[in-house]
Chains A and B, each alone.
Chain A
Amino acid sequence: MLVPLPTEKWNDETAAHLLNRGAFGGTPGEIEAARKKGLAAVVRELVDVNTDAANVPPPAWAHPRNIRAQRMEIKAAKDQGQNFQEKAREVRMMESENILDLRRWWLERMMTGPAPLLEKMTLFWHGHFATSVQKVKDAYWMWLQNDTLRHNALGNFATLVKKISRDPAMMIYLDLQQNRKEHPNENWARELMELFTVGIGNYSEQDIRESARAFTGYRIDMTTQQFRFAPMQQDRRPKNFMDRTGALNGDEIIDILVNKPACAQFIGRKLWRFFVEDEPSPQMVDAIASSIRAHNYEMRPVLREIFSSAEFYSDHVMRTQIKSPIQYLIQTSKLLETQLPSPIVAQNAMRQMDQILFAPPNVKGWDGGKAWISTSTLLFRYNFASYLINGDAMSPANAPQHRQGADLGFRRPAQLAEQTRRDPIDINKIIPAELREKPRDLVNLLSARLFQARPPEKETSAFVQYLEARKPDTGDETMRGLVHLMMSTPQFQLA
């Protein structure tokens, strides 16, 4: 059982921690406001958000098209030996522009939207039901999946899995639409058990074969881009699945899986790793799993319990999580009181830091934790910080390189230069004029903002010495240099 956090432990530090994990971090102002509101009120604001009210209009291009007609057109041109390439290229370019825009759209929702936890849970499920545009190749389908994840992110897990089994992007990604009565494709059935519900070791190869037959008849209508059920294609013969026999269908398979204790353990462990700590103890996993079962897989009460628990605020949890690249991007922009970088820079940064939205590396999603950090990604973070602070003038080499990839579009260097331009931040927003001459006070103030904590004395004094060494220069350049120095540290990678 999770123990509630005693009221007297609610302070700036715990408030900052809740905003770091339950949202994408807070500025000193937001942390203070949260502290004043009290734990219960902040948790309510985060968790009890209405998923419909939190909806903003989809991107303008996000509507279904008649894909079949489009493909037939290209194929006909190809078969007749005509130049189909121009047309195919047009489609590719459009898709790559749309997915770039979709990434911008989601990042902006995380940054300024009214429901940061909803976005964070949507990100959690995106990593859980990992699906990549690299295979799906259609931005509308990726948006549609994102929308499904968001609407169900805080709701019931079993419902979400059933929706995902009918989600066109997932159906393409795991070949579910190729699952035929005569030729079952087991890709979806296997991952449903291994990665989405009970985890490895809790099912047999026979369970995979039998359940693949239960998911027959799932189709995508290529003229409307929507899910379609084809009853004639359904395998109605009896199946032996786990301890059940019968003409089971897909939804019944999902219900059986979700009712297994292993499923609550599996989801609970993953949830705890995402929000709390990398290596949860078996006791913690048991605690969260029983909470999930007690709440019948409703996510809202489970999250409420996590964020209100003393365990969530324990010393070995606070400030020990390595920021995911998405968290890094959003939180840094917030902390610097600035805008997100341009879409193309953000996309390139996600790529370099190894977390591109809508393109997880494989069906397992992102490992997270220490896997975010290698010598290359750490150096990139340090240098990217400079770009975010100083803009493009100072670090032209940070600009994305021109790539021939479908993902980065087909831009000319001049266009690219225009789209990677960035002004230095307004340093006065984070550094009061009167502190420029007081190194130690200034470093303490910035530490509270950037680290939400005081770093060890050794580091603090290095920052102070930097300011001393730059004296008498206390201009903007020196101030930005200090911020960059503070962000080029292990400390800054933690939330």
Chain B
Amino acid sequence: MKTTLQTRRQFLRTSMLGAAATWTLPVFLEKTFFALDAMAADALTQTVTGKDGTILVVLQMAGGNDGLNMVVPYADDTYHRARPRLGFAADKILKIDNCLGLNPKLTGSKALFDEGHVAIVQGVGYPNPNRSHFRSTEIWQTASDADRNISDGWLGRYFDNCCAGADPTVGVAIGGETPQAFAAKTRTGVTFSRPEQFRWRTSEPNKGRMSAEEMFFRQLNESGASEESAITAAGGASIGAIPGKAKSDLSTMDFLQRTALDAQLSSDKILAIARKYKSTVPYPQSRLAASLNIIARMIAGGLPTRVYYASQGGFDTHANQLNTHERLMGEYNDAVTAFVADLKQQGNFERVLLMTFSEFGRRVAENANGGTDHGAAAPMFVLGGAVKPGLFGKYPSLVDLDHGDLKFNTDFRSVYGTVLDRWLKAPSEKVLGRKFPALAIV
């Protein structure tokens, strides 16, 4: 076994496993124990976790966010002609230069932009845009070309390629179902709506102590870690952190046992953090705010997560868009503003990068029902303490259209690639299949 203790993480990992080995070592651990170091050396990138690492928060705006009314080309007459009812007058919007301004509800985002913490990438899309929610979402989630079908998600490929051996909580999605972006050969990442749900529930009524059922459940699922040691482990790695690559060599039973152990440890860790860390910053009442609040608490508690995923729905505004979109922009603004304040208070703002996306923007011209139909290119927001601020890409022409839709000028995979290479320190080519031009956003 080649052991050169180079990093704190490696040291922690080795000693954690050393410690684990002195317990009665489950059979499936024995099999992978010695492969560990070789595996870590093989991994393309050292997975940095806990207090050391950078963190990506992906925020999905589901349904097709109207980019034109988020970043408004207020000085363009075409905009006002195309949107007699939905267009914002120049004096309503939050101007960022002579041509563009933000939606009136984005006050917090505007302040953050002025502070130099927001990069706005304009005209993002992909060739041969698909206008089906289902398909276009799939394209964004898998980072595939429009004429190819890929099952693995882009974040899943990141986990597969660059996080072998990482804790299962390397990816955390807040919500009812795992996003396709997390789909991977080796399934990593955990999904929950509320931390309290991510645990095994006993059949017995809660009597305020561990029930016999739970006690034996733990015994059966191989968990010996107490809450305290689970938290400590979060700083480096837990004994759940057996390299995922070894999986295919393991029997199905070994694999199930290890996943059960992972689930138990992750559950203990997440619950312990949820109990211990509360935000003092007030969050507004919305699902997105609740999701970001959970994420902020997990970050504060040092969960070894590289990628968090949250989503906001309701952007499919075919009719009466004015009120709906205003409410959504307000919710987004208030939730993200609280999240940023929370991270600043924790001292973690520099470590976190939040990136928004939507499956498409909307048609330039409003429709007869005061709404907008499915479109194509739209802006993405990238924000965080370490972001290089400003406007990137080019605002698409409102005249030179593709079937009434804005033409993209920046491929969304340029944004993904930049985030992978420069933020997560992962080789984007490996994850995205090829190199896309980088942007100076980080």
With known contacts A278-B252, A352-B176, A85–B369 Cβ distance under 8 A: yes
A489: contacting residue among B178, B187, B215, B220, CB under 8 A = B220
B286-305 contacts to A, CB under 8 A, are none
A115 within 8 A of B: no
Is B203 a contact partner of A386 (Cβ separation < 8 A)? yes
Q: How far is the CA of A363 from the CA of B151 in the complex (A)?
A: 8
Selected interface stretch from B118-126, B253-261, B376-384: B253-261
With the chains together, A465 CA to B216 CA distance in Å?
8
The answer to the question of B247 belonging to the interface, with a C-beta cut-off of 8 Å to chain A, is yes
Instruction: Specify which chain B residues have a CB less than 8 angstroms from the CB of A466 in the assembled complex.
Output: 212-213, 216
A186 beta carbon closer than 8 Å to chain B: yes
Secondary structure type dominating chain A contacts:
helix
Shortest CB-to-CB span from B239 to chain A, Å, is: 14
Q: Are A374 and B178 in contact (CB under 8 A)?
A: yes
What are the residues of chain A within 8 A of B199 when measuring CB–CB?
Answer: 379
Contacts of B147 in A (CB 8 A): 186-187
A150 to B245, CA, bound (A): 38
- Shortest distance in angstroms between B162's beta carbon and chain A's nearest beta carbon? 18
Q: Are A394 and B203 in contact (CB under 8 A)?
A: yes
Q: Is B314's beta carbon under 8 Å from chain A? A: yes
| Other-chain contact of B200, A459, A469, A481, A488 (Cβ < 8 Å) | A488
On whether the beta carbons of B368 and A378 are closer than 8 Å, the reply is: no
| Contact bitstring B246-272, A, C-beta under 8 A = 1, else 0 | 011001110111011011001100000
Q: Specify which chain B residues have a CB less than 8 angstroms from the CB of A282 in the assembled complex.
A: none
- Which residues of chain A from 193 to 220 have any CB-CB distance to chain B below 8 Å in the complex? none
User: For the complex, is B274 an interface residue (Cβ under 8 Å from A)?
Assistant: no
B65 within 8 A of partner (CB): no
Complex interface residues of chain B between 148 and 194 (CB less than 8 A to chain A): 149-151, 168, 176-178, 180, 183, 187-193
Whether A371 is near chain B, meaning CB under 8 Å from some CB there, is yes
User: In this assembly, does B196 line the interface, its C-beta being within 8 Å of a C-beta of chain A?
Assistant: yes
| Cβ-defined contact, A80 with B190, below 8 A | no
Given contacts A371-B187, A376-B192, contact A397 B220 (CB under 8 A): no
A379 close to B151 (CB less than 8 A): no
A425 to B195 Cα, complex, angstroms: 29
Contacting residues, chain A, for B10 (C-beta < 8 A): none
Q: Report A57-83 CB contacts with B as 1/0, cut-off 8 Å.
A: 000000000000000000000111101
Question: How far is A398 from B190 in the complex, measured between Cα atoms in Å?
Answer: 17
Q: Does A112 contact B (CB under 8 A)?
A: no
Question: Taking the complex as formed, is A191 at the interface, i.e. its CB lies under 8 A from any CB of chain B?
Answer: yes
Partner pick for B221 among A363, A389, A484, A489, CB 8 A cutoff: A489
What is the CA–CA distance of A296 and B197 in the complex, to the nearest angstrom?
A: 51
Chain B residue at minimum C-beta to C-beta distance from A393: B205
Q: Which of B196, B197, B267 has the most CB of A within 10 A?
A: B197
A397 pairs with B201, CB closer than 8 A: yes
Contact A481 to B259, CB < 8 A, known contacts A134-B134, A361-B180: no
Identify A488's interface contact among B217, B314, B318, B368, CB under 8 A.
B217
Contacts A375-B259, A397-B201; is A462 near B367 (CB within 8 Å)?
no
B77 neighbours in A (Cβ, 8 Å): none
With contacts A362-B138, A394-B203, A488-B200 taken as known, whether A85 is within 8 angstroms of B168 at the C-beta atoms is no
CA distance A174 to B203 in the complex (A): 46
Known: A364-B151, A394-B203. A373 touches B255 (CB 8 A): yes
Q: How far apart are B1's CB and chain A's nearest CB, in angstroms?
A: 27
A390 to B190, CA, bound (A): 26
A78–B370 Cα distance when bound, in Å, is 10
CB nearest neighbor in B for A493:
B256
User: Given A84-B369, A390-B203, A481-B213, does the pair A320, B149 have CB atoms closer than 8 Å?
Assistant: no
A278 to B256, CA, bound (A): 14
User: Are B253 and A494 closer than 8 Å at their CB atoms?
Assistant: yes
| A351-400 CB contacts (< 8 Å) to partner B | 351-352, 354, 361-364, 367, 369-371, 373-376, 378-379, 382-383, 386, 389-390, 394-395, 397-398
CA distance A403 to B367 in the complex (A): 28
Q: Would A79 and B151 be within 8 Å (CB), given that A370-B187, A375-B263, A477-B203 are in contact?
A: no
- In the complex, the answer to whether B201 meets A477 with C-beta atoms within 8 Å is no
B198 within 8 A of A: yes
Q: Mark B298-331, 1 if CB is under 8 A from A, else 0.
A: 0000000000000001100011000000000000
Q: Across the interface, which residues of B come within 8 angstroms of A401, CB to CB?
A: 176, 193
B263 touches A481 (CB 8 A): no
Chain B, 208-262, CB within 8 A of any chain A CB? 212-213, 215-217, 219-221, 247-248, 251-253, 255-257, 259-260, 262
B175 CB to closest chain A CB (Å) equals 10
Are the C-beta atoms of A322 and B252 separated by less than 8 Å?
yes
Nearest B residue to A79 via CB reads B368
Q: In the complex, what distance in Å separates the CA atom of A137 from the CA atom of B132?
A: 12
B151→A367 contact, CB < 8 A: yes
Known contacts A383-B200, A383-B201, A389-B203; A404/B313 CB under 8 A: yes
Are B251 and A320 in contact, CB atoms less than 8 angstroms apart? yes
Q: Give complex CA distance A371, B150 in Å.
A: 15
The reply to whether the CB of B202 lies closer than 8 angstroms to some CB of chain A is yes
Cross-chain contact of B151 among A81, A362, A386 (Cβ < 8 A): A362
Task: Tell me whether B135 is interfacial, beta carbon within 8 Å.
Answer: yes
Bound CA–CA A374/B180 (angstroms): 14
Name the A residues within 8 Å of B313 (CB-CB).
404
Per-position binary interface string of chain B over residues 130-143, scored 1 when its CB falls under 8 Å from any chain A CB and 0 otherwise: 00101100100000
Please state if A488 and B168 are interface contacts (CB–CB under 8 Å): no
Q: Name, among B149, B183, B199, B255, the residue most crowded by chain A CB atoms within 10 Å (CB to CB).
A: B149
Asked if A494 contacts B256 (CB within 8 A), the reply is yes
Judge whether A480 is part of the interface by a CB distance below 8 angstroms.
Answer: yes
Q: Chain A contacts of B91 at CB under 8 A? A: none
**Are the CB atoms of B213 and A379 closer together than 8 Å?**
no
In the complex, what distance in Å separates the CA atom of A79 from the CA atom of B367? 8
Q: A462 touching B220 by the CB < 8 A rule?
A: yes
Enumerate chain A residues within 8 angstroms of B216, measured Cβ to Cβ: 462-463, 465-466, 469, 485
B204: interface (CB < 8 Å): yes
Interfacial chain A residues near B252, Cβ < 8 Å: 278, 320-322, 369-370, 494
With A191-B149, A394-B203 known to touch, is A375 a contact of B262 (CB < 8 Å)?
A: yes
Q: Is the CB of A135 within 8 A of B132?
A: yes
Would A361 and B183 count as touching, CB distance under 8 A?
A: yes
Residues of A within 8 A of B183 (CB): 361
Indicate if the CB atoms of B253 and A374 lie closer than 8 Å: no
Say if the beta carbon of A331 comes within 8 Å of chain B. no
Cα A494 to Cα B255 in complex, Å, equals 12
CB contacts (< 8 Å) of A295 on chain B: these are: none
Given contacts A320-B252, A371-B187, A490-B256, contact A484 B203 (CB under 8 A): yes
Q: Which of A126-145 contact B (CB under 8 A)?
A: 132, 134-135
Given A361-B151, A466-B213, A481-B203, A378 and B259 contact (CB-CB distance below 8 Å): yes
B190 touches A376 (CB 8 A): yes
Task: Check B259 against A351 for contact (C-beta < 8 Å).
Answer: no
CB distance from B242 to the nearest CB of A (A): 13
Chain B residues within an 8 Å CB radius of A438 = none
Contacts of B150 in A (CB 8 A): 362
A276 to B8, CA, bound (A): 45
**For A484, what are the chain B residues with a Cβ–Cβ distance below 8 Å?**
202-203, 213
Decide: A376 near B220, CB < 8 A? Known: A191-B149, A386-B201.
Answer: no
Residues of B within 8 A of A370 (CB): 187, 247, 252, 255
Closest CB pairs A-B (n = 9): A490-B256, A81-B368, A375-B263, A374-B187, A469-B212, A376-B191, A466-B216, A481-B203, A484-B203
A-B contact pairs, 8 of them (CB 8 A): A84-B369, A361-B151, A375-B267, A376-B191, A379-B263, A469-B215, A477-B203, A494-B252
Other A-B pairs, 20, CB within 8 Å; known A370-B187, A379-B263: A320-B251, A354-B177, A362-B138, A362-B150, A369-B252, A374-B168, A374-B191, A375-B168, A375-B266, A376-B263, A379-B198, A386-B202, A394-B203, A397-B196, A401-B176, A404-B314, A469-B216, A484-B202, A488-B221, A490-B256
